[in-house]
């Protein structure tokens, strides 16, 4: 699902203008990003936790040339689903069949 599709569905379900819905969705995403850059963690009850983690520097291999390359340390976002979502995902039928 894209952000555009999400905006369309939410606007239709709530019978509100897509422009307003797009602004609200974008504002929510901006607040999540702002909080992650400021505090490094955001917990959304009944959804999950987004957390910034430090990934250590490491050696990797270029698959085309088989050459060893060094990858610098970097910060990455980790998401851990809440218990409700994790259970729903386990109970849902798989699409990969």
User: What would the pLDDT profile of 20-75 be if each residue is shown by its tens digit?
Assistant: 999 999 999 999 999 999 999 999 998 999 999 999 999 999 999 999 999 999 99
Phi, psi at residue 78, to the nearest 5°? -115, 140
Q: Distance of alpha carbon 71 from its chain centroid, rounded?
A: 23
The topology under which CATH files domain 40-97 is HU Protein; Chain A (4.10.520)
CB 45 within 8 A of CB 85: no
- Report residue 77's pLDDT band, with 50, 70 and 90 as the boundaries: very high
Q: Where are the domains of the chain?
A: 1-39, 40-97
pLDDT of residue 86: 85
pLDDT of residue 66: 92
pLDDT of residue 96: 62
- Report residue 89's pLDDT band, with 50, 70 and 90 as the boundaries: confident
Classify each residue of 60-79 as buried b or exposed e, where b means 16 or more C-beta atoms within 10 Å of its C-beta.
eeeeeeeeeeeeeeeeeeee
Phi, psi at residue 49, to the nearest 5°? -125, 130
């Amino acid at each position: 699902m894209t952000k555009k599709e999400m905006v369309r569905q939410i606007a239709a379900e709530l019978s509100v203008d897509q422009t307003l819905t797009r602004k609200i969705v974008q504002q929510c995403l901006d607040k999540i990003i702002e909080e992650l850059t400021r505090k490094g963690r955001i917990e959304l009850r009944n959804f999950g936790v987004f957390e910034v983690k430090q990934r250590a520097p490491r050696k990797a291999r270029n698959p085309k040339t088989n050459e060893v390359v060094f990858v610098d340390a970097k910060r990455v976002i980790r998401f851990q689903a809440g218990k409700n979502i994790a259970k729903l995902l386990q109970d849902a039928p798989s699409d990969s069949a």
